Every structure is written in structure tokens, then in C-alpha cells.
Structure 1
């Protein structure tokens, strides 16, 4: 009993708020937590982008197949109407033109020959129409089934997109909360005109970097491909598109696309894409030891020193 009594007294003496309150994180702890959140967000955003690309691809496939199905349906309906009309005409003419009395009742030999020719022509036409109708009608189900399968696939991919989107929204809320505590939240300006690129790039790389520098100040937006905001791979894709080079959408896809275009980090040239360990982030080398990139939520497209990148680098490719 004395032990139990002591516990009760202890609980009474300790304020309830103090019993449940978490200790306030230090500045260093907040920054460390933010770094972990950013790293996690990088990976989730890339999963979201990948899922979104698969969804768009599946939806595009469905749209094409469904359009093809509709065209075939129209063809079948047209042929069906022709077959029906043909049957009606055959019935009407069958009593005279295509019947034996109708044929032998011709007053002149040329009339008999004309009616026989018409009968043969109608028979051939009927056979061709019926064959076409049968062929198209059998293909109709195949086209419909393909379209339905593509739609199911698109719906499944959309569910994956929504799942990743939900996780990102939670991460963003945490990131914003920490950034505001640190006084480091920057909403950016979607209408920013950026800054002028004056580095050593030439050729395609110069076009890439002129475009990328013109985006400086615009907000990081997950899934963003411009023009009002970007995520990291959205910026690299849009920048290289400005130079006439088509890159895949996601960081993973860009890294895989450049499998035969990898370059040493000691031989970086302006325009090269630099990838972080885990392939969660990508930036563009601007020359003179600088990079331009879209960092993370609560930040903007910016130019920084490569040495202050803050992420471990896994490699680089030259598009």
C-alpha cells in the first residue's frame, strides 16, 4: 500500500501538462528533422511522379482504344443497316426479279440477261456485306474488352497516385511547420522572371541554363513541371526541353535514360545532371562550382554552390 500511495501522490503533484508535453526541439534538432523529412519527401515525390506517369500512360491507352472501339461500333451499325436494307430489298424483289417466273417472264432476251446479271450482282454484294458485317461484329467485342481492361488499369494507377499524394500532403504539412519555426519558409513567386545566366556554358547547355536561371525564385511544387513552379525533375526536364532534348519525367527515369551517358564528378560540364544518393533528387550543374535546382517544399528554384548541396551525390549524366 505505501508504494501505491506514493505513486498516487506523485501523479497528483506532477501537473498533467508536464506529463504529456514533448520537449521543445532545439534549432539543431529541428534542422535534422527537416533534413530527414526532405529526404523522405524526395523519394515519395518521385514515387508520386512515377505513379502519375503510369496513370497518364494507362489513361491515354484507354482513350485510344475506346476511340477505336467507338469507330468500329459505328462501322458495325452502318453495316448492320446495310444488311437489313439488303434483306428488305431481297424480299421485295424476290417475288419478281430474282424468282424463276420473274426471269422467264422477260419479254425480250436482253431483259432476261439483265435480270440474271442483277441477280448475280446482288448475290455477290450480299455475300460481301454479310462477311464484312460478321468480321467487324466479331472484332467489336475484342476492341471493347481491350478498352475496358485499359480503363481498369488506369483506375488502379490512379489509386496509386492518390495514395502517394496523401502521404506527400502529410509530409508537406510537417515541412512547412518546421520551416516556419526556423523562419526559413519561402513561398516563392510563381511569376518570377529569374536571373540572367552568365556562366561558361555553350551550345545546348547554354539554352538549358538560360531557361533554368529564368525560373529562379519560382516555388518548389511537388509534381510541378512549370511554368509557375517545379519539383527537381520537373525543372531538369523543362530546362533540357528548352534545348530540344526530351528527358523522361521522373528522377529514376532520367537516371535510367542516361545509363550510357554517365560522366565523372571530376569532369562535370555545364548542363550535366547531378543525382543524389537514393536518386531522390536531381540538379543541373551550372559551371564555376554552382548548381541550379528546385530543392524542396518551402523553398524556391535557386542557384547554390555544389559544395553546399547538402545531399550525398551518386553520379551525373550528360544528356
Structure 2
């Protein structure tokens, strides 16, 4: 996420001049420190987003397995009830349907045969039910074990998410302190209606950029996917979703997803995703040498010149 506070630094030099004997070194040192913080925050935020996605996937897997486990549990319980009912029926039938004395004492051969057929049928049904119960009961343990394993995995990833979240919060506190000192902190407006896109894009890219420009002025929020705030990859994902294209959640994942869609930085077209070195930041090319992006903590979704990006670029992807 490039440092886009250059204009703000320029604006605050004069007001601070009266209070500081030599403001330039102080601003330069603060800017250098902020650059390092932003670079570190980029990587931590992407790790946080990656861990969050893994946690969601693990939770989803657990939810499916747990649903299957509960369904099988109900099946086993139903079979258990059926077996108990059959046993009770056999007991109530006593000597007539299931015991040889009852069968031999029938009044006529037909009755005797009917009794034997009924006994055979009940024995077969009982055997089938018992076999089904045994099979389902064994499957029940497997389903339970799989569900419990998925839950443990989700809990482990949740620990990773919390660890990254704590580190981000520490970095954010430092970023905000520096930005406020420099008079460059922006809270943004979660309800901003943005600005109109009037650039050269057409087709899907036009839909992408109309959406992205409508988010201008909303705050950068780590882990943000909208509508009130975004981080860099959250904005690119939401913008391309508006054009019917599903991108992965994180910067790294978006770059990997676009492995076969990479384009030269000398042949950029509106809507292309532009990635910084280290893959810590991604923005959207808007045409005419402009990009729209969610920069970093203390800033807002904005449109800036690509030449003011502030960092080296690793490449671009055309979704």
C-alpha cells in the first residue's frame, strides 16, 4: 500500500514552520518511519487476511461435517428405535409367531405356514436393521472424528488470526500517531458516495471503475471488504465482483490467480490490477495514468497518478 501522504506533508510544512526551528528533518524522519510502518503493515494485513480466509474455510468444513454427523446421529437413533420396536413386537407375539410350539399348535396347515412366513420375515427384517444399525454406528464415529478434527483446525487458524490482528493493532497505533503529528490523518466517510468515473474504460472494466470510484472517500480499514471501508485487496475484489468476476480475497491470492493473465506494465488498460513489489499492495488502473486504491491506515480510497504510487511495481493482471 503506497504512502500517499506526500501532498499532506507539503501542506503542513508552513503551519509547522513557526513551531519548529527546522521542520524538514523532522518531517523527513517521520515520513521515512511511516514508509517502514506501512510496508510492514502491508505484509501483516495480507497475512491476517490469509489467516482469516483459512479460518472461514475451516469453519465451513466443520459446519458441513457437523451437519453430516448430526444427520447420521438421527439415523442411528431412528434405527435404534426401530430395533427396539421390533424386539417388543417379537416379545408380544410370544410363542405364536416366533416359537416352534406356537407354530406347531396352529389350527390348520395354512395358519402354520403363515406363522412360519411371518417369523421368517421378522427375522430377516431384524437382521437387516441390526446390520444397518451396526454400519451406521461405525460411520457415526468416523463422522464425529472428522468433525472434531475440522474444529481443531479451525481453532488453530483462529489463533493465527488473533496473533496477526494484535500485531496490526500495534502497527496502526504507531501509524496514527505519526500521521496525526504530521497533520495527515484522514478518518474518511463510511457513507461517502464517491466520485463519477469518466475515464476511457468500457465493458466490464467500466463497471469495475464506476464501482471503485463510488467508494472514493471511504476509509482504509484493515480486513475491510466494504461497504463502509476497504483494504487494498478488499477494494479490488469488491470492484471486480461488481462486474461479475470473482477474485480471491488476498493480494497474494489475487496475484497467483492471475498467473495466466499477467500483462506488461507498458500495456496497461483500465481495470487492470497493479501489484507492488513484495505483493503487499494492489490497485486498479483507471486509465490516463491514474489508479484508484485503498492506500493504508489513516487514509481513504482515492484516485492518484500512477507516477505518485511511491513504490516499485512487480506487475499487472487483467482479470
TM-score (ref. length: structure 2): 0.91
Helix, strand or coil for the counterpart of 2:227? coil
1:204 corresponding residue in structure 2: 204
2:100 corresponding residue in structure 1: 100
Provide Cα deviations, 1:187-225, integer angstroms capped at 9, x if missing partner: 000000000100000110000000000000000000000
Aligned equivalents of 2:199, 2:57: Cα separation in 1: 38
Aligned equivalents of 2:128, 2:263: Cα separation in 1: 63
Aligned equivalents of 1:90, 1:105: Cα separation in 2: 18
The 8 Å contact of residues 293 and 302 in structure 2, kept in 1 or not, is answered as yes
Provide Cα deviations, 1:238-262, integer angstroms capped at 9, x if missing partner: 0000000000000000000000100
How is 1:1-319 mapped onto 2 (pairs within 5 angstroms)? 26-319=26-319
Q: CA deviation at 1:104?
A: 1.8
CA RMSD of aligned residues (A): 1.0
Provide Cα deviations, 1:3-33, integer angstroms capped at 9, x if missing partner: xxxxxxxxxxxxxxxxxxxxx9701100111
The 8 Å contact of residues 275 and 314 in structure 2, kept in 1 or not, is answered as yes
Helix, strand or coil for the counterpart of 2:125? helix
Aligned equivalents of 1:194, 1:114: Cα separation in 2: 84
Q: CA deviation at 1:76?
A: 0.5
The 8 Å contact of residues 68 and 143 in structure 2, kept in 1 or not, is answered as yes
Helix, strand or coil for the counterpart of 1:133? helix
2:20 corresponding residue in structure 1: none
1:3 corresponding residue in structure 2: none
Structure 1: tracts of 5 or more residues without a match: 1-23
The number of equivalent residue pairs is: 296
Aligned equivalents of 1:311, 1:61: Cα separation in 2: 39
Structure 2: tracts of 5 or more residues without a match: 1-22
1:17 corresponding residue in structure 2: none
Which stretch of structure 1 is more off in the superposition, 115-124 or 104-113?
Answer: 104-113
Q: CA deviation at 1:95?
A: 2.1
Q: CA deviation at 1:108?
A: 2.5
Aligned equivalents of 1:292, 1:28: Cα separation in 2: 26
Helix, strand or coil for the counterpart of 1:95? helix
Q: CA deviation at 1:88?
A: 2.0
Helix, strand or coil for the counterpart of 2:98? coil
2:6 corresponding residue in structure 1: none
Kindly name which structure, 1 or 2, has the bigger radius of gyration based on alpha carbons. 1
